[in-house]
Amino acid sequence: MPATAPESADRAAEGGGPRALPRATARLQLHPGFTFADAAGVVDYYAALGVSHLYLSPVCSARPGSSHGYDVTDFTSVRPELGGEPGLKALAGRARAAGLGLILDIVPNHMAADVTHNGWWRDVLAHGRDSRFAGCFDIDWTPRDPALHGKVLLPILGQSYWETLVAGELQWVPASGDGAAHLRYFDHSLPLSPDSADAEAASDPGWYDATQADGRARLHALLERQHYRLAWWRSAAAALNWRRFFEISDLVGVREEDPQVFEAVHALVFRLLREGWIDGVRVDHVDGLADPAGYCRRLRAELDRHAAARPPLLQLGSPWLVVEKILGPRERLPPDWQVDGTTGYDFMDDVAAVLHNGEGEAPLGALWALMSGDARPYAAHAAQARRQMLDRHLVTEYEGVAARLHACANSDPATRDLTRAALRRALAALMAAVPVYRSYYDAQPAARDTAAAQADEAMLEEAMQAARAGLAPDEVVALAFIAGCQRTVADPDSETGVLRRRLQQLMPALAAKAGEDTAFYRYGRLLSRNEVGSDPGQLALPPAQFHARMAARRLACPHAMLATATHDHKRGEDARMRLAVLSELPGVWADAVAAWERESAPLLATLPLAPDPGDRLMLYQALVGAWPMADTAPRPDGSEGTNAAPAPDALLARVSAWQVKAIREAKRHGNWTCPDPEYEAACEAFLRGIAAGWPQGVLAHIGHFVQRIATAGALNGLAQVLVQLTAPGIPDRYQGCEGWDLSLVDPDNRLQPDFARLQSRLSCSAGWAHWLAHWRDGRIKQQLVRQVLAVRRAHPDLFGDGQYSMLAAHGALVPQVLAFARTAGERQAITVVSRLAAEHVDPAVPRIPPACWGDTTLNLGAPQASRWTDALTGHVLDAPAGRLRLHDVLGGLPVALLLREP
């Protein structure tokens, strides 16, 4: 057992016992190339950085070689490739010795549908409904297709079933030693139901030889006797009879609503918590579950119960519990879930939006409309994508709900005239109009929070009103019937209960796949706002609204996670902040794009197929955002350009991979299952073509443009970090992002950080003037993180539960200031950051020169004089008449954290 108690500086009395809440977390991506032992090797680094907990990606056994761990094969064991349970415990012990705890990312919604490595799934395939694990998976044993009654569709074949048989790709493997007889399909080991094989197969190796007509007939007959039906992988979208994760047909849904399944899935997590190895959990994709609210309440109760049994030196109180939940506009996490909050996509949206300039909305929109030829708002793209997803990608889920709706309607004389066609069209219209990830009518009415229930009602009414606009009279009646099914209180296992559950589980899959995985790649006004948890249709957030949201956050969920980068982000936190500068300089951006387009015209004329202009505009943005910080410095002779002599091959490779993903996600020129090689080749040729003249030409000119805005982008990045570390909540620093984070979407954002370099830079003591002068190397951001986390540690009352209040500026540069105070008793901390600085920023360093601030002051809200200390620089500042001069506060750095002692 760990020998030392977890750090208790952040404990707060609650419910009669201590809560060891994290002060700040650091997310680590574990995989076979970065194991528990590797994580143990960076414990000292993160302890020195100042986090209180390491936040680990999933640790349960997963598919061999998995780079992420979300494809779980065994909930009951720790992944051997990471070091197994001994490795996890060694990491936990090492972390405890350094004063750090562990938070686990858990995956309750799904498992890998892996016939070889998932024992639960394999047993279901062998024994069907009689398997002791049959209740673990969300399988429809009586689907629309009678041929699948009592069977599981297994769409793993590379070609049609019959072509697979004829090709002899399915091979009989007789029993040997402890191994039962089975079928081999490439790397899949297919189990057989007991006693289903012909006795002759034991003595005749060629009995099931599918290359011979007789053997093929016998093999087909054998397969017909199994509890699964092999199928071409392309049939999955329309024919699956089990719930999958989004549209990923090798991840099968788990039935957490079953108490026995819940216990089996969480037994390892509860034991690790009870024994003191972990201190809290992050729940992946909670919206995929049948009853998220009920699940969260059950999980909270069990976590508290097992935490109470921890060893005396490791008492914890109520463990930290956050859920991955995307909140829609005006949506709030229901308090009856009894969780500490979300994993922070909502905060990531707010802090990014307040650092954008709303005045750029119209000109950026005009540029996008001109380039793409499509002036529709983002909402129209999202609605269109939702309909396409229903028609072509989430077909089995959509048709399954429609079939159940029709069966329910047909069972009642009052509604039996509703046709399936009308119900399908009404359902599609409703699903296209739902403004959030899902509703939560599954929860028992008596257990529901009134405000949450009212929010569901308001959302449903809003969606119905939008859906009615394009429906015929019979379809309007069908829409009302669907809403009635949603609202009807019914037993979860009744037809209405199952229907409602399927309908609501369709919602998050549709929202995610149509929004962040489709429309985000079709609508490119400004890609910094096309981020998970964000609405690309909203360019900016006024400071007053930001402050109101932070004050509400402090009251509703003061211990929620605050994220600015994640393993799922579309682009890194500093790439977003650089692109945010374009909202301040839309005219400059439009002129630059026009110049690049003119210069690219001869190249485009040589291509047999040209990339769409809208795709080219998004490509330019991707290059601007991802351009390495080290390559934005002026040349030694002072001329414009980059210092990189050879072509930036690493950047081109990253952007090339992003471009392929963007094309396929957009689903306008092929998709992942049916790619368009000619269009992808044309886009690759264009990317390589604009780089062909390096160090001259279009790509070099894009680099020149990056140099022009990079300083303002870095200023935004520093502002974002300080706000994240001092706003209400618990900040999470994603691995390596204490340096500049210019990553693109996965897998780019999951690359291994250079921890040796980070460690070396963290120990630098050169000081702020040096770090500011050499800002491109990222030390200034890393040192900002380190020093602010030290302040959080020294003042847990201020940042753990301190009150939040906005502070107003007066004078010439009011729009360039964002400031707020955290107050606990007589102690107070003030966060001050620069924003919208593109027209004022020092071209050499990321700050607004002191003289530019002029008469701008910060009103502290009290008329009396006070004295403050900048916790970063140590400078002492006087505030006569309760006002601070910004040229003093932000004269050295673009951000300040001021402390007033009692």
C-alpha distance from residue 330 to each of 403, 451, 500 (Å):
33, 13, 24
- The pLDDT value recorded for residue 81 is 98
| Residue 15 scores a pLDDT above 70 | no
Antiparallel, parallel or unpaired: β 110-112 and 248-253: antiparallel
What phi, psi does 753 have (nearest 5°)?
-65, 155
What average pLDDT does this structure show over 688-708?
Answer: 96
Four-point Cα dihedral 77, 80, 82, 86, nearest 10:
70
Instruction: Identify the weakest region by mean pLDDT among 338-352, 433-447, 568-582, 606-620.
Output: 433-447
Report angle CA 713, 328, 334 to the nearest 5 degrees: 120
Contact 119, 125 (CB under 8 A): no
CATH topology of domain 119-250: Maltooligosyl trehalose synthase, domain 2 (3.30.1590)
Class of CATH domain 12-109+256-324: alpha beta
C-alpha distance from residue 641 to each of 838, 839, 861 (Å):
19, 21, 47
Share of the chain above pLDDT 70, in %: 96
| Residue 327 scores a pLDDT above 80 | yes
| Residue 5 scores a pLDDT above 80 | no
For residue 828, the 8-state DSSP code is E
Long-range CB contacts for residues 764-773, cutoff 8 Å, separation at least 24: 768/872, 768/873, 768/892, 768/893, 769/892, 772/845, 772/846, 772/847, 772/892, 772/893, 773/844, 773/845
* C-alpha–C-alpha distance, residues 550 and 499, integer Å: 38
- The pLDDT value recorded for residue 825 is 92
* C-alpha–C-alpha distance, residues 238 and 391, integer Å: 10
Let me know how long the chain is: 902
Q: How far is C-alpha 829 from the chain's CA centre?
A: 31
Contact 897, 870 (CB under 8 A): yes
Helices (H), 245-394: 259-275, 292-307, 345-353, 361-372, 378-388
* C-alpha–C-alpha distance, residues 621 and 628, integer Å: 14
Instruction: Identify the weakest region by mean pLDDT among 307-316, 774-783, 812-821.
Output: 307-316
| Residue 447 scores a pLDDT above 80 | no
| Residue 10 scores a pLDDT above 70 | no
Q: What is the side-by-side strand order in the sheet with 188-190?
A: 170-173, 182-185, 188-190
Is 119-250 in the same CATH topology as 12-109+256-324?
no
What average pLDDT does this structure show over 197-207?
Answer: 93
Which position has the token pair 């690049």? 596
Using one digit for the tens of pLDDT, what is the confidence trace for 516-548? 999 999 999 999 999 999 999 999 999 999 999
Q: What's the pTM value of the predicted model, to 2 decimals? A: 0.95
- The pLDDT value recorded for residue 446 is 64
Using one digit for the tens of pLDDT, what is the confidence trace for 237-255? 999 999 999 999 999 999 9
What average pLDDT does this structure show over 273-302?
Answer: 97
Using one digit for the tens of pLDDT, what is the confidence trace for 455-496? 999 999 999 999 999 899 999 999 999 999 999 888 888 999
* C-alpha–C-alpha distance, residues 309 and 292, integer Å: 26
- The pLDDT value recorded for residue 11 is 33
Of the candidates 376, 304, 292, 365, the one whose C-alpha atom is nearest the C-alpha of residue 333 is 292
Per-residue pLDDT band for 9 (boundaries 50, 70, 90) equals very low
Q: What DSSP letter does each residue of 197-253 carry, written as one string?
A: S-GGGGT-TTTT-TTSHHHHHHHHHHHHTSSEEEEEGGGHHHH--B-EETTEEEEEE
Contact 336, 297 (CB under 8 A): yes
* C-alpha–C-alpha distance, residues 706 and 623, integer Å: 9
| Residue 4 scores a pLDDT above 70 | no
Compute the mean pLDDT over every residue in the chain, rounded to the nearest whole number. 94
User: Which residues lie closer than 8 Å to 808 by C-beta, 6 or more apart?
Assistant: 858, 859
Using one digit for the tens of pLDDT, what is the confidence trace for 136-189? 999 999 998 999 999 999 999 999 999 999 999 999 999 998 789 999 999 999
User: Which residues lie closer than 8 Å to 589 by C-beta, 6 or more apart?
Assistant: 364, 367, 582
| Residue 646 scores a pLDDT above 80 | no
Using one digit for the tens of pLDDT, what is the confidence trace for 376-396? 999 999 999 999 999 999 999
Report angle CA 330, 336, 337 to the nearest 5 degrees: 85
| Residue 855 scores a pLDDT above 70 | yes
- The pLDDT value recorded for residue 18 is 54
| Residue 13 scores a pLDDT above 60 | no
C-alpha distance from residue 183 to each of 130, 192, 252, 889 (Å):
21, 8, 22, 72
- The pLDDT value recorded for residue 179 is 87
Exposure string for 115-131, b = 16+ CB within 10 A, e = fewer:
bbbbebbbbbbbbbeeb
Q: What DSSP letter does each residue of 850-864 carry, written as one string?
A: GGGGTT-EEE-S-SS
Q: So where are the chain's domains?
A: 12-109+256-324, 119-250, 378-525, 584-711
What average pLDDT does this structure show over 638-658?
Answer: 75
> Between these two residues, 639 and 302, which has the higher pLDDT value?
302
- The pLDDT value recorded for residue 634 is 66
| Residue 69 scores a pLDDT above 90 | yes
Antiparallel, parallel or unpaired: β 808-810 and 60-62: unpaired
- The pLDDT value recorded for residue 861 is 86
Using one digit for the tens of pLDDT, what is the confidence trace for 757-797? 999 999 999 999 999 999 999 999 999 999 999 999 999 99
- The pLDDT value recorded for residue 12 is 33
Residue 607 burial (C-beta neighbours within 10 Å; 0-12, 13-18, 19+): middle
Q: Report the SS3 class of residue 516.
A: coil
Identify the H or E element spanning 831: strand 827-834
User: Which residues lie closer than 8 Å to 214 by C-beta, 6 or more apart?
Assistant: none
Of the candidates 743, 883, 753, 737, the one whose C-alpha atom is nearest the C-alpha of residue 819 is 883
